[in-house]
Amino acid sequence: MDKLSLDVVVTRGAIVESQHRVHAVVADATGRVVAAARERDRVTHWRSCAKPFQVMPLVDGGGFDRIGWGDDQLALAVASHGGEPEHVALAESMLTSIGMEVGDLACGPHDPLAQRGQKALREKGAHPSRLHNNCSGKHAAMLAHAHSSGWPAFGYERQDHPVQRDCLREVAKWTGLAPSDVVQSVDGCGCVEFSVPLEAMARAYARLADAARRSAGTPSRIVHAMQTRPFLVGGTDRFDSALIEATEGRVIAKIGAEGVHSVAIIDEGIGIAVKVEDGAQRAQFPAVLATLQHLGALPAELPPRLAEFRQRPLRNSRGEVVGEVRAAG
């Protein structure tokens, strides 16, 4: 097993001002740990990284196809989107197609995560709605699962609802854990989220990659949607979209809040889980890219769009570069 050093530093001048500790695991589909940084068995919140598995019950059960949804809707269901006009319009159309309204979404409103989405709202003089929530696609898909299964829509986000019980079973299956070993909490969007060891996260994404390359079933459909609709997965200035586009879909990624990230190298059946201990997003992207470079999934000299995430300038209030954020290794 390779031992990785992924900590990220913030420099000011020639001096390191801050340092972020990074934990990570790289695993294959058999569960073998290929490489790790710090605590491979660290239990943490999976947050939005679990979305590909949370939509599986809707697809496996046939509800997704009965509604008539396609790759666009599937990509948005697993997205942490930027709240750009295209994301908002698609989320609203998903609700309309199942006879639901914006008020049926259990997620609250927040400002768009993408600058373009923020600009669009400002130009309209409008306030953000629940559709702008980066998880609105996931919530629309959960409402669809309740609708297609004949269950009440109200309370679909709660732990005791059949929708969430299905999600728990799916997460347990792919991580290789017993459902009772998956810790449940409430996510920022108001929905159930799951805590598992980093090793289990990496194993799940490795299994997702391996299943996608071997069959044409639900895993393949989800991966294909992410590969071919990277904008819907994130947005104009979103890291996941940039990574998927730069690798032409060979690598897919899902961001989670508080410094957690899950990545799959599809053609190798490899899964990666990263957790920045203090939750700082500024350390998250350099750590993910450094891991992929170590594995040979990305070149030493990154494409310009990814290089911006790998080593970011630190600027003062006058816009002058006074340091940088970069991987320490």
CATH number of the domain enclosing 162: 3.40.710
For tokens 């799951």, the residue is 194
Q: What distances in angstroms separate CA 317 from CA 41, 119, 320, 321, 322, one per listed residue? A: 41, 22, 7, 10, 10
Q: What is the pLDDT of residue 259?
A: 98
Number of domains in the chain: 1
Q: What is the pLDDT of residue 329?
A: 75
- Would strands 2-3 and 311-315 be described as parallel, antiparallel, or unpaired? unpaired
Q: In percent, how much of the chain has pLDDT > 70?
A: 100
Give tens-digit pLDDT for 8-44.
999 999 999 999 999 999 999 999 999 999 999 999 9
- What's the whole-number mean pLDDT along residues 297-318? 96
For tokens 């909490």, the residue is 185
- Would strands 22-28 and 33-37 be described as parallel, antiparallel, or unpaired? antiparallel
Structure tokens at 230: 């990277």
Exposure on the CB side of residue 315, measured as CA atoms within 13 A:
6
Radius of gyration (Cα) for the chain, nearest Å? 19
Q: What is the pLDDT of residue 1?
A: 77
Name the residue with higher pLDDT: 94 or 216. 94
Return d(Cα 263, Cα 279) in angstroms, integer. 17
The one-letter amino acid at 305 = R
User: Do residues 231 and 244 touch, judged by C-beta distance below 8 A?
Assistant: no
Give tens-digit pLDDT for 234-280.
999 999 999 999 999 999 999 999 999 999 999 999 999 999 999 99
Domain extent, residue 57, equals 2-327
Structure tokens at 310: 């790998």
Whether 292 shows a pLDDT value over 80: the answer reads yes
Closest CA to 193 of 265, 153, 135, 253: 135
- What's the whole-number mean pLDDT along residues 211-222? 94
pTM higher than the cut 0.75? yes
Tally the residues of the chain: 329
> Mean pLDDT in the chain?
98
φ/ψ of 105, rounded to 5, equals -70, 135
